């Protein structure tokens, strides 16, 4: 059989409702998560990522297919018999219990001896740096602190897999950045497999070992952040992750003839006919109009972002292209609107997608 995965979904289908009202939340999803991996399910709301998470946690049972944990089929097991813990989006801390009792709840329910619970709770409080808050009630803490309690509570029973359901979405930007680092640190320190659900592509790119991009109940692409960003499997993934220019053209020999008449070299995998090229804005160079291979374009607008400037161009047929140029000292790159320039695409950066 080879490697046993920490988590595996085998052809999981989840349908809510029946007949004409039926909604397919999971559409034949198969995915594996390795031990100790930080795996992120990424997608817009309603794409099925949370449903998949809830199937792993045991709050939902797949309509068909199986969920495996360390190679064992747990599809029919109730949540309280799965060595899996969840960090809820709303934290779901018990309001009637102190921080320490919240963190110890899982161990208490497992029937662990008091001394062991106290010892683990103290260790968890130290891990999330909340030692002085042990006796507080959850509502006496700030959002970020509650978040850390929720984390400690889920980590205390040493689950095989930690599930995180958009745990950072309720926090403000600064705190979110802080918690991203904190989460990554906790994952490395504990070595526990994390399955993280988010709709924030930046969060996914910065934290994950691998990402699964979902859309309408289907897994679109699974890969490392680099894979997903540099080699998106389809137009949807390319569009969802980062900004992308989409250019339509027709295959002509080893290159693609754009609507503007310009020829662009691309790594074609045997595609013919009409294709879509995806080019990231930061992988476009602005050159002189007479440079070799330059595509003539006119600057139609620009937006200054501090570290870089987004230039908007129009090709000769009016196709819009956006390029991101790093700001240089003293505005030597400051190109005025209306100027004719040449654009060069880095060969390896041009991705060929379906039509």
Partner 1 sequence: MGIGTEEGRKKHQARSGWLLSLPALVLLLVGASGPLVIVAVYSFLKPGEYSGVQWIFSLEAWFKVLLEKDIFDGTISLADAHLAIFWRSAKLSLLTTAVTLVLGLPTAWFIATRPARSRALWLFLITIPFWTNLLIRTFAIMEVIRNEGILNTALLALGLIETPIQILYSGTAVLIGMTYVYLPLMVLPLFAAIDRFDFRLIEAGYDLYASRWQVLRRVILPIIRPGIVAGSILVFVPSLGAYVTPRVLGGGKNMMIGNFIELQFGQGRNWPLGASLSMVLLLIVVVALLIYVRTAPQEDRHD
Instruction: Kindly state whether residue 80 participates in binding partner 1, applying the rule CB under 8 A.
Output: yes
Q: If binding is defined by CB under 8 A, does position 232 make contact with partner 1?
A: no
- 175, 120 contact by CB (below 8 A): no
What's the chain look like in SS3? CCCCCCEEEEEEEEEECCHHHCEEEEEEEEEEECCCCEEEEECCCCCCHHHHHHHHHCCCCCCEEEEEECCEECCCCCHHHCCEEEECCCCCCCCCCCHHHHHHHHHHHCCCCHHHHHHHHHHHHHHCCCHHHCCCCHHHCCHHHHHHHHHHHHHCCCCCEEEEECCCCCCCHHHHHHHHHHHHHHHHHHCCEEEEEECCHHHHHHHCCEEEEEECCEEEEEECHHHHHHCCCCHHHHHHCCCCEEEEEEEECCEEEECCCCEEECCCCCCCCEEEEEECHHHEEEECCCCCCCEEEEEEEEEECCCEEEEEEEECCCCEEEEEEECCHHHCCCCCCCCEEEEEECHHHCEEECC
Does 319 engage in binding with partner 1 (CB under 8 A)? no
The one segment of 94-102, 195-203, 242-250, 298-306 that binds partner 1 by CB under 8 A = 94-102
Are 213 and 219 in contact by the 8 Å Cβ rule? The answer is yes
Of the pair 163, 213, the CB lying nearest partner 1 is at: 163
By CB under 8 A, is residue 106 in contact with partner 1? Answer: yes
Cβ nearer to partner 1, comparing 162 with 322: 162
Using the minimum distance from each CB to partner 1, give the nearer residue, 19 or 95.
95
233 lines the binding site for partner 1 (CB under 8 A): no
Tokens of 136: 């507080």
The verdict on 137 binding partner 1 (CB under 8 A) reads yes
Give the residue, chosen from 18, 21, 139, 307, that forms a contact with partner 1 under the rule CB under 8 A: 139
Cβ 168 to partner 1, closest distance in Å?
A: 17
In the region spanning residues 141 to 180, those forming contacts with partner 1, defined by CB under 8 A, are: 153-154, 157
Q: In the bound complex, what is the minimum distance in angstroms from residue 170's beta carbon to partner 1?
A: 13
Query: How many positions of this chain bind partner 1 (CB under 8 A)?
Result: 26
Nearer CB in complex with partner 1: 28/136: 136
CB of 42 to partner 1, least distance (A): 23
Task: Kindly state whether residue 86 participates in binding partner 1, applying the rule CB under 8 A.
Answer: yes
**Out of 2, 19, 95, 273, the residue judged to bind partner 1 by CB under 8 A:** 95
In this complex, which beta carbon is closest to partner 1, that of residue 137 or of residue 216?
137
Q: Is 348 in the site for partner 1 (CB under 8 A)?
A: no
Residue 79 beta carbon to partner 1: minimum distance, rounded to whole angstroms: 4
Q: Does residue 59 interact with partner 1 by CB under 8 A?
A: yes
Residues contributing to the site for partner 1 (CB under 8 A):
57-59, 78-81, 84-86, 88, 90, 92-96, 105-106, 109-110, 137, 139, 153-154, 157
């Amino acid at each position: 059989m080879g490697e046993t995965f920490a988590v595996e979904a085998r052809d999981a289908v989840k349908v809510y409702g029946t007949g004409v009202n039926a909604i397919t939340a999971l559409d034949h999803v198969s995915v594996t998560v390795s031990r100790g991996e930080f795996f992120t399910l990424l997608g817009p709301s309603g794409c099925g990522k949370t449903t998949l998470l809830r199937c792993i946690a045991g709050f939902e049972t797949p309509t068909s297919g199986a969920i495996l944990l360390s190679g064992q089929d747990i599809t029919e097991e109730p949540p309280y018999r799965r060595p899996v813990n969840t960090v809820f989006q709303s934290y779901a801390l018990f309001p009637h219990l102190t921080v320490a009792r919240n963190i110890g709840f899982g161990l208490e329910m497992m029937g662990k001896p008091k001394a062991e619970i106290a010892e683990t709770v103290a260790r968890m409080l130290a891990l999330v740096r909340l030692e002085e808050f042990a006796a507080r009630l959850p509502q006496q803490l700030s959002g970020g602190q509650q978040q850390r309690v929720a984390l400690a509570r889920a980590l205390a029973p040493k689950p095989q897999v930690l599930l995180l359901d958009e745990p950072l979405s309720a926090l403000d930007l600064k705190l979110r950045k802080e918690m991203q680092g904190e989460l990554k640190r906790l994952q490395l320190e504990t070595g526990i497999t994390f399955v993280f659900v988010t709709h924030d592509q930046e969060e996914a790119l910065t934290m994950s070992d691998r990402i699964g991009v979902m859309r309408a109940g289907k897994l679109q692409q699974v890969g490392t952040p680099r894979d997903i960003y540099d080699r998106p499997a389809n137009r949807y993934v390319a569009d969802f992750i980062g900004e992308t220019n989409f250019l339509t053209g027709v295959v002509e020999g080893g290159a693609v003839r754009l609507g503007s008449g310009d020829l662009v070299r691309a790594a074609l995998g045997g595609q013919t006919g009409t294709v879509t090229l995806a080019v990231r804005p930061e992988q476009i160079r602005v050159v002189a109009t007479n440079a070799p291979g330059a595509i003539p374009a006119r600057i139609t607008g620009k937006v200054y972002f501090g570290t870089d400037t987004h230039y908007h161009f129009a090709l000769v047929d009016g196709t819009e292209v956006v390029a991101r140029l790093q700001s240089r000292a003293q505005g030597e790159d400051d190109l005025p609107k209306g100027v004719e320039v040449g654009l060069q695409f880095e060969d390896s950066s041009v991705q060929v997608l379906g039509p």
